[in-house]
Amino acid sequence: MRRKVTVVGAGNVGANCALRIADKELADVVLVDVVEGVPQGKALDLLQSGPVEGYDVTVTGSNDYEPTANSDLVIITAGFPRKPGMSRDDLLLANFDVVRQATEQCVRYSPGCILIIVTNPLDAMCQAAFIVSKFSKNRVIGMAGVLDTARFRTFIAQELHVAVENVTAVVMGGHGDSMVPVVRLSNVAGIPLTELMDQATIQRLVERTQNGGAEIVKYLKTGSAYYAPSAAAVEMAESILKDKKKVLPCAAYLEGEYGISGLFVGVPVKLGARGIEQIYQIKLTAEEQAMLNKSAAAVKELVDVIMTRM
């Protein structure tokens, strides 16, 4: 049977998610956006790339949610992107309303779906979707860590002039400036990073990763990154749709893991047909745990703000 994925938000991230899903023939795609004509036009354009690229899936655009019915997976990218000088947190309240509305509608038409959240500020938006959907925690997953580790891996590979596929990196915590690149567990073909670079270089790459989103916003001026974010969301979608059981860093609802409760925080998880099938608990050093606690505290501040609006 053909699978169906809804992408809410037909902007830069959403349209690129739709393109990647179609290109990989993962599922039929429904693009939803509030702007009249945009999802319809982009869907048609994507559909017409099929004969050239050789993919054969249905891509539909809509301003309402009826065509999304019975989606297996929903990726929520709708919202406002970050502008220069704006933190992800400034987006909080504006995007909260968007995610709440999108979640309500998606759940109404696809009560059995799995939700991947991309809209920022990511961890707080996951919490909003989790509460509004009333889904079990394995079915609400945030895209952050796959992107953050992709950035860290890119910078490590560039620095060492090695193939990026040899680089494994671990980034945990919230998707903000306080994210926690776990240097101790990052390696190149099994060789610890600490044996390949001095401390100052590692620190420089860690900071560049933490500011990876802002670096791109500064260049683009009118928006935020979308190629790598859409690639990351679609890697997660593929692992779920194909039940690949990839171990990926994702924002997951924690209930005591890492000493954190009642919050979405980035941790390594197994993604399969049931969504998050396992949360991995790595033994952290005291310093790493302190950084993770600090990052979780930053997430909690935002969650506390949106809880007053629930």
Which segment (32-40, 173-181, 191-199, 262-270) binds ligand APR by CB under 6 A?
32-40
User: Which of 18, 19, 78, 106 is close enough to bind ligand APR by CB under 6 A?
Assistant: 78
Cα dihedral 253/95/133/301 (nearest 10):
40
SS3 content of the chain, % helix, strand, coil (to 5): 50, 20, 30
For ligand APR, give the closer residue by CB, 32 or 251: 32
For ligand APR, give the closer residue by CB, 63 or 278: 63
Smallest distance from ligand APR to CB 122, Å = 8
Smallest distance from ligand APR to CB 187, Å = 28
Smallest distance from ligand APR to CB 2, Å = 24
User: Which of 12, 186, 239, 295 is close enough to bind ligand APR by CB under 6 A?
Assistant: 12
Q: Minimal CA–CA distance to 5: which of 289, 22, 279, 158? A: 22
Strands 114-117 and 73-76: parallel
User: Which of 62, 101, 178, 201 is close enough to bind ligand APR by CB under 6 A?
Assistant: 101
| Strand, coil or helix: 98 | helix
For the purposes of burial, counting CB atoms within 10 Å of the CB of 201, is it exposed (0-12), middle (13-18) or buried (19 or more)? middle
Which segment (52-60, 98-106, 252-260, 270-278) binds ligand APR by CB under 6 A?
98-106
Residue 220 binds ligand APR (CB under 6 A) = no
Whether 161 is catalytic = no
Dist CA 235 CA 155 (whole Å)? 20
Other beta carbons within 10 angstroms of residue 35's beta carbon come to: 11
Tokens of 80: 């406002």
Residue 297 binds ligand APR (CB under 6 A) = no
Query: Which residues in the 113-142 window bind ligand APR by CB under 6 A?
Result: 118-120
Smallest distance from ligand APR to CB 191, Å = 33
Query: Which residues in the 254-283 window bind ligand APR by CB under 6 A?
Result: none
Residue 235 binds ligand APR (CB under 6 A) = no
Q: Is the peptide bond before 249 cis (omega within 30 degrees of 0)?
A: no
Dist CA 29 CA 194 (whole Å)? 43
Other beta carbons within 10 angstroms of residue 157's beta carbon come to: 17
Residue 186 binds ligand APR (CB under 6 A) = no
Residue 11 binds ligand APR (CB under 6 A) = yes
User: Which of 14, 173, 266, 268 is close enough to bind ligand APR by CB under 6 A?
Assistant: 14
Main-chain phi, psi angles of 173, to 5 degrees: 90, -170
In contact, 239 and 248? CB cutoff 8 Å? yes
Residue of 82, 88, 175, 270 marked active site: 175
Contact residues: ligand APR, CB under 6 A: 8-14, 32-35, 77-79, 81-82, 91, 95, 98, 101-102, 118-120, 223-224, 226, 229
